[in-house]
C-alpha cells in the first residue's frame, strides 16, 4: 500500500501532467504486481491500445503495445506497432533495443534482426547526411556492460588486425557498474581510448548513437554495418581466419598479477607446483533466463575426476551462490576473502582449463589461450567458436510428441535462439540439463587431451563433420568441438 500512497502523493504534488504520466504507466504497474498470465497480458493489451489511440504521436505508447502483442504471440501486429513507434522516433535506441530483445526471447529472430537493421540503417543514414562519418571515430559502450560482452572485444580487435573492420578510431565509453575493470584494462593496449568521465560521457552520448558499433553489428571495412544475431557468423569467420594464420591469443597475464595470484592461492593452501581447473556454474538470476542456470551438484563427479588426476578445483562465480561443502583440493573462491576482479582474471588466465555453463565467462579464458569445457549450453544457434574448446549442450524434449527433438529441428527453429522459458513452455518444449555422467565424460576428454592421451576414431571425426554440416559446413568458420561421448550417445539425433 505504501507504493500506492507514494504514487497518490506524487500526483497530488505534480498536478495534471504527472497524473497523465502515471496513468500511462498503469499497465506496467499492473504487470509488475500481478504477473504475466494471459489475463494480465490482455488487460495490458487493451490499456496500451487505448493509450496508442488517444496519443497517436507518442512513440513509447506504440512500443509498449508492440511488446505486449509479442507476449501474446501476435508477432505481425507487434511489428506493425513497432514500425509506428519507429516512424515517430527513429533515433530512440531504447525502444528498438527493448522490442528487439522481446522478439528474441520469443524466438522471432528474423523480426528482431529487421528491427535492429532498420535502426542501424537510420542512424548511419543520419551520420552520412550530416557528415558525422567524416569524424573518423566509432564509439562502443555495449561491450562494457557484462563480462561476456567484454570478452567479445576479442573478435572486434581481431577484425581490426585482419583488416575487416572500419579504420575509424575506436573509443570506448564506460557505463556505470562495469562488471570487471581489471579485465577491461587488459584490452587497453589494443583499445587505448577509454572514457569514463561523467561530464564527457554526457556530452558524447547524443553523438555516439549515430557512430556506434555493437557487439553483433560492427562497421566493416567497406562501410557496411550488418546486424548478425549474437555475432555467430562474424565470430566464427574471424576466429577461423585467425587460427588458420597461426596467430596467438591476444591477451597475456601480467607478471605482477601472476605473482600476487599465486601468493593468494598459496595462502589458501594450494601448492606452488599444483595445477588447477576453474569451475563456474551459473545459478538462477532471472525467471526469464532461468534455463541458463544449472545445479552445481551435478558437477561433483567431474570434480572428483579432476582431483583423482592430482588437480585442484577452484569454484568461481558470485558471492550469492550457495557455498560448497568442504572437500580437500576444492577452493570455494567466491566465498573467500581473496575474491576480486583482478583475481578473477588471474584464475581465468592461469587455470589448466575452465568449466562453465551458459554464462558470460565462457568467452573469457580463450582470450588468454585457455581452453574451456562448455556445458549445459542452451543456444545451439550460438555455439562457442574457439577450436580448443569442447562443448556439450542441453537437449530439447517435446512433451507433445514424447521425444527429443533432433539437432537439425532445433537449429532450424526459434529454439536455437530463444531465451524465454515461457515461450518454450508454450511450444511444449522442455530443456534438459546434461547428466552428471555427460559432464564427467567431457571433462575426462579434456583431461586426456591436455595429457596427450586422447585419440579420436574415424567414427568420432565423422560425427563431428555431420554435426558441423548442420551449420552449412565449416570451411571458413571456426567451431568448438562437440564432446566425443556426447555425440556418440546422441548420434541418432544427427
- Name the residue ranges covered by the structural domains of the chain: 2-127, 136-244, 255-493
Positive or negative: CA dihedral 454, 457, 458, 459: negative
Tell me what pLDDT residue 285 has: 57
Instruction: Compute CA distances 65 → 25, 82, 98, 284, 347, whole Å.
Output: 12, 8, 12, 29, 46
Give Cα separations from 490 to 261, 289, 462, 474, 493 (angstroms).
41, 25, 14, 21, 6
Residue 218's pLDDT is what? 92
pLDDT for the residue numbered 143: 64
Exposure letters 73-108 (e unless 16+ CB within 10 A, then b): eebeebbebbebbbebbbebeebbebbbbbbbbbbb
What is the greatest pairwise CA distance in the chain? Answer: 76
Report the first-to-last Cα separation within the chain, whole angstroms: 55
Give the HSE-up count for residue 48: Cα atoms under 13 Å, Cβ half-sphere: 28
Please name the residue that has the C-alpha cell 524465454.
420
d(CA 404, CA 392): 15
Helix (H, G, I), strand (E, B) or coil at 189: coil
Q: Report the distance separating Cα 350 and Cα 278, nearest Å.
A: 9
Handedness of CA 357, 371, 158, 206 (dihedral sign): positive
CA distance 140 to 159: 15
CB atoms closer than 10 angstroms to residue 476: 11
CATH 1.25.40.10 corresponds to the domain 2-127:
yes
CA 314 – CA 333 distance, rounded (Å): 6
Provide the pLDDT for residue 288: 46
- Which pLDDT score, from 0 to 100, does residue 93 have? 82
pLDDT of residue 179: 86
User: Cα-atom radius of gyration of the chain, to the nearest Å?
Assistant: 24
Q: What is the structure's pLDDT at 97?
A: 85
Regions in the chain scoring below 70 on pLDDT? 1-39, 143, 229-232, 284-290, 419, 473-478
Residues in the chain: 494
- Indicate the DSSP class of residue 414: G
Q: Locate cell 530443456: which residue?
A: 431
Amino acid at each position: 500500500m505504501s507504493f500506492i500512497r507514494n504514487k497518490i502523493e506524487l500526483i497530488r504534488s505534480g498536478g495534471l501532467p504527472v497524473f497523465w504520466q502515471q496513468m500511462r504507466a498503469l499497465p506496467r504497474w499492473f504487470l509488475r504486481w500481478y504477473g504475466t498470465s494471459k489475463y494480465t497480458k490482455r488487460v495490458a493489451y487493451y490499456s496500451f491500445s487505448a493509450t496508442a489511440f488517444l496519443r497517436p504521436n507518442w512513440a513509447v505508447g506504440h512500443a509498449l503495445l508492440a511488446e505486449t502483442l509479442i507476449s501474446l504471440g501476435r508477432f505481425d501486429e507487434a511489428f506493425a506497432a513497432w514500425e509506428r513507434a519507429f516512424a515517430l522516433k527513429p533515433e530512440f535506441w531504447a525502444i528498438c533495443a527493448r522490442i528487439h530483445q522481446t522478439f528474441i526471447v520469443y524466438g522471432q529472430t528474423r523480426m528482431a534482426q529487421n528491427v535492429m537493421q532498420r535502426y542501424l540503417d537510420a542512424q548511419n543514414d543520419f551520420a552520412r547526411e550530416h557528415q558525422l562519418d567524416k569524424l573518423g571515430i566509432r564509439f562502443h559502450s555495449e561491450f562494457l556492460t557484462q563480462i561476456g560482452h567484454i570478452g567479445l572485444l576479442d573478435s572486434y580487435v581481431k577484425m581490426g588486425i585482419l583488416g575487416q573492420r572500419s579504420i575509424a578510431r575506436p573509443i570506448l565509453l564506460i557505463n556505470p557498474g562495469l562488471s570487471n575493470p581489471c579485465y577491461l584494462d587488459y584490452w587497453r593496449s589494443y583499445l587505448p581510448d577509454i572514457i569514463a568521465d561523467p561530464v564527457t560521457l554526457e556530452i558524447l552520448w547524443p553523438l555516439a548513437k549515430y557512430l556506434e558499433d555493437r557487439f553483433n553489428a560492427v562497421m566493416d571495412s567497406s562501410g557496411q554495418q550488418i546486424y548478425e544475431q549474437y555475432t555467430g557468423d562474424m565470430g566464427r569467420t574471424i576466429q577461423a581466419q585467425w587460427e588458420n594464420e597461426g596467430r596467438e591469443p591476444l591477451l597475456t597475464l601480467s607478471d605482477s598479477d601472476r605473482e600476487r595470484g599465486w601468493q593468494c592461492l598459496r595462502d589458501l593452501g594450494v601448492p606452488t607446483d599444483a595445477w588447477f581447473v576453474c569451475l563456474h556454474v551459473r545459478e538462477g538470476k532471472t525467471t526469464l533466463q532461468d534455463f541458463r542456470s544449472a545445479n552445481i551438484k551435478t558437477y561433483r563427479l567431474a570434480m572428483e575426476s579432476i582431483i583423482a588426476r592430482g588437480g585442484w578445483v577452484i569454484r568461481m562465480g558470485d558471492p550469492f551462490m550457495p557455498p560448497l561443502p568442504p572437500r580437500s583440493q576444492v577452493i570455494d573462491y567466491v566465498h573467500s576473502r581473496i575474491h576480486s576482479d583482478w583475481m578473477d582474471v588471474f584464475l581465468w588466465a592461469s587455470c589448466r582449463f575452465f568449466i562453465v555453463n551458459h554464462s558470460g565467462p565462457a568467452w573469457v579464458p580463450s582470450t588468454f589461450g585457455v581452453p574451456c569445457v562448455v556445458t549445459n549450453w542452451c543456444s545451439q544457434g550460438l555455439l562457442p567458436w574457439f577450436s580448443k574448446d569442447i562443448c556439450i549442450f542441453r537437449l530439447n524434449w517435446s512433451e507433445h510428441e514424447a521425444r527429443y527433438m533432433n539437432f537439425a529441428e532445433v537449429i532450424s527453429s526459434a529454439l536455437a535462439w530463444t531465451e524465454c522459458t515461457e515461450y518454450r513452455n508454450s511450444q511444449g518444449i522442455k530443456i534438459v540439463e546434461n547428466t552428471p555422467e555427460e559432464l564427467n565424460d567431457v571433462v575426462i576428454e579434456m583431461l586426456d587431451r591436455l595429457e596427450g592421451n586422447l585419440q579420436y576414431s574415424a567414427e568420432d571425426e565423422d560425427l563431428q563433420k555431420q554435426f558441423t554440416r548442420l551449420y552449412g559446413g565449416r570451411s571458413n568458420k571456426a567451431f568448438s568441438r562437440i564432446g566425443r561421448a556426447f555425440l556418440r550417445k546422441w548420434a541418432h539425433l544427427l
